[in-house]
Amino acid sequence: MTTYNLALIGFGGVNRTLAELIQSRGSQLQADLGFGLRVTAITDLRLGSLVDAGGIDLAAVLALGPGATFEQFGGSAETDNEAVIRNCPADIVVEATFTNPDDGEPAVSHVRWAIEAGKSVCTTNKGPVALRGRELAALAAEHGVAFEFEGSVMSGTPVIRLAKQMFGGLRLGGFEGIMNGTSNYVLGRMESGLSLQEAVREAQDLGYAEANPSADIDGYDVQLKVLILANELLGASLELSDISREGISSVTVQDVRQASLEGKRWKLVGSAQRNPDGSVTAGVAPQALPLEHGLAGVSGATNAVAFSTDLLGQVTVSGPGAGRIETAYALLSDIIAIHARNSSSAQAGAPAVAPAPIEAARA
């Protein structure tokens, strides 16, 4: 049996939760999955950098209080992500920092540095996938490593991998979906009579919306997700500027009331459609959907994507689209996919990510 060394880039809610899962359920995961996991590097803007080839004491790290840094474990209070990513003893780099929707940085560089160093990568970031996905995938293929990003669209709900693995033999004509829980929550609260501003403030108080909610309310988040799905599943070669975008800021309480009288419900819908000439048209816009529409009943933080297929008609994938536990599971599912890739490559005699022998793990 083998074990994979992991480098966690960013130690916020998602990677911290992954570390908690490894610390608390490591033996069970090893028995269930057939491989072990060991964290050998962590970088974080607040905590600094820590590298330990023998395996980091996750219980101690997770117990750190406010104001503490990795210096007390022999690490550094400073972060040099490039040096850690390129030089740390890791097989897989787990990237979970923030997304800059304009250029995808710093996550794009994190992914590139890892691939160039011969390390596989899994990320929850939309930016690297949406803005540099083709480039980074080609770079990963060139270096013989994996680039996985299931959590970039619907958190732990496996929409990308499910479509790629289970829709074989089907022709996808397009998709439409609800892919942002914050905007969906806000529209739902507006049905109860709250104004847009009141609903946004409530979402912020509950932790659903950021202090600056523009990425959710103005449709930027969904725009990136539509770009990922269109390019990954429909074979498009779209740029972000090709995805039309309209958020929910223009939807009023009166609009919501009128829709209700007409048996409809407002939703922020991201969609893409394959045209007769093979091109793909995609966009994001609020729509008043009939109540019988498959997406009209999707509420709260739940996300759903309905695919149009030639043989099965409409196939809908629904599940949680947010949450630190759910997103941490997406990273775990990426690691499982990397292991499956390695096992398949090893059986075929091809090079694969070389996991460390489990005997080398620290007791």
349 pLDDT more than 70? no
Render pLDDT for 127-145 as a digit per residue (tens, 0 to 9). Answer: 999 999 999 999 999 999 9
Render pLDDT for 67-84 as a digit per residue (tens, 0 to 9). Answer: 999 999 999 999 999 999
Average pLDDT over residues 51-61: 97
Supply the pLDDT for residue 102. 86
What's the CA gap between 300 and 143, in Å, rounded?
41
In angstroms, how far is CA 287 from the centroid of its own chain? Answer: 25
The CATH 3.30.360.10 portion of the chain extends over 159-320
What DSSP letter does each residue of 5-71 carry, written as one string?
Answer: EEEEE--SHHHHHHHHHHHHHHHHHHHHHSEEEEEEEEEETTTEEEE-TT---HHHHHT--TT--GG
Supply the pLDDT for residue 356. 44
pTM of the model: 0.91
What's the CA gap between 188 and 299, in Å, rounded?
7
The CATH 3.40.50.720 portion of the chain extends over 2-155+324-360
Q: For 159-320, CATH number? A: 3.30.360.10
In angstroms, how far is CA 25 from the centroid of its own chain? Answer: 22
Supply the pLDDT for residue 358. 33
C-alpha pair distances (Å), 129 with each of 137, 171, 197, 238, 255: 9, 23, 32, 12, 35
Tell me which residues are annotated as active site. Answer: 225
Supply the pLDDT for residue 351. 53
**Domain over 2-155+324-360 is classified CATH 3.40.50.720:** yes
Render pLDDT for 206-230 as a digit per residue (tens, 0 to 9). Answer: 878 888 899 999 999 999 999 999 9
Average pLDDT over residues 313-329: 92
- Are the CB atoms for 6 and 96 separated by under 8 Å? no
